[in-house]
Amino acid sequence: MRPTLSWTPTDDLPPGSTDPAPVADALSGGRVLVLSGAGLSTESGIPDYRGEGGSLSRHTPMTFQDFTGSLQARRRYWARSHLGWRTFGRALPNAGHRAVAAFGRHGLLTGVITQNVDGLHQAAGSEGVVELHGSLDRVICLSCGTLSPRRELARRLTAANPDFAPVAAGINPDGDADLDDEQVGDFRVVDCALCGGVLKPDVVFFGENVPPARVEYCRALVRAAASLLVLGSSLTVMSGLRFVRQAADAGKPVLIVNRDPTRGDRHAVTRVALPLGAALTGVAGQLGIAVDGAPDATAGR
């Protein structure tokens, strides 16, 4: 069975709002749990999956079943990912990431769960981030379980493919560059340096389950929170939607900041349909919180 990659909004969803005041009100009360998705990183130059111009319109992500079942699929993945990593690894946190970090420093958050694999929350200064889908910074051996830094694998892949320098048409949220089969060519994949096993990025591929212990830890964070703030996620896949449903079932307010409708809208008290960086910086300004590197939210008023 292929994993769920898309979701079609229905006509009975509540409309989005342009008023971020409910988000400011929730944050002012503290004990807010943040759940972030790919839309939070678009302002850092990393496209999302399903928004306007999202990568799913031109790109089908690698599934766990394809990756483990085919050497050619792994060659294609690592060629594209190796090239994409050079760009992906240079991305910087944007105003949205910095605002979340500022909320955390002021004690307004109980935690941050991110569906992203880019490490930008941590780069912005957020602490205790739960990487629901893992991180591209790490590589895992599927045979012996050894974890190693991605930069180490990058050095080995560069050494094994010294003349590999195609020009990609674009970059995707999973760090995968857009290359055709001719550009991939006979790219050489390297194996685990310890046991010779298959190497995989330490991320949860489509069609793969989030580790149960990680899910349960996130459920505990939802139980401990007063409200759930969803940032830049369409909530199409169950890995994030389940926490929205859990919060709503427990009577905890769910607030969503996302320009497009989401699969969780019917469970939310509001969806703010504004660009994330500007919306969160504005909320920080309302709360009297400075966001490092961001313009004064009250300028020009």
DSSP letters for 30-88: --EEEEE-GGGGGGGT---SSSTT-GGGT-PPPBHHHHHH-HHHHHHHHHHHHHHHHHH
Residue 7: what pLDDT? Answer: 61
Residue 6: what pLDDT? Answer: 61
| 170 in a labelled binding site | no
Give me the half-sphere count of Cα atoms (radius 13 Å) on the Cβ side of residue 167: 0
Residue 10: what pLDDT? Answer: 73
Active site members: 133
pTM (global) more than 0.85: yes
Residue 88: what pLDDT? Answer: 76
Residue 133: what pLDDT? Answer: 95
> What whole-number distance in Å separates Cα of residue 276 and Cα of residue 265?
17
Residue 299: what pLDDT? Answer: 30
For 22-51, how does the pLDDT look when each residue is reduced to its tens digit (9 = 90+)?
999 999 999 999 999 999 999 998 877 545
Within its chain, how far is the Cα of 88 from the centroid? 13
CA distances from 77 to 63, 145, 157, 182, 205 (A): 10, 20, 12, 14, 12
Any idea where the domains of the chain sit in the sequence? 16-46+93-133+209-301, 57-90+136-203
| 37 in a labelled binding site | yes
| Strands 134-141 and 109-114, sheet pairing | unpaired
Within its chain, how far is the Cα of 247 from the centroid? 20
| 218 in a labelled binding site | no
Residue 1: what pLDDT? Answer: 37
pLDDT beneath 50: ranges in the chain = 1-3, 50, 53-58, 294-301
CATH assignment of 57-90+136-203, given 3.30.1360, 3.30.1490, 3.30.1600, 3.10.450? 3.30.1600
User: What superfamily does domain 16-46+93-133+209-301 belong to in CATH?
Assistant: TPP-binding domain (3.40.50.1220)
Residue 173: what pLDDT? Answer: 66
Residue 83: what pLDDT? Answer: 87
Residue 178: what pLDDT? Answer: 79
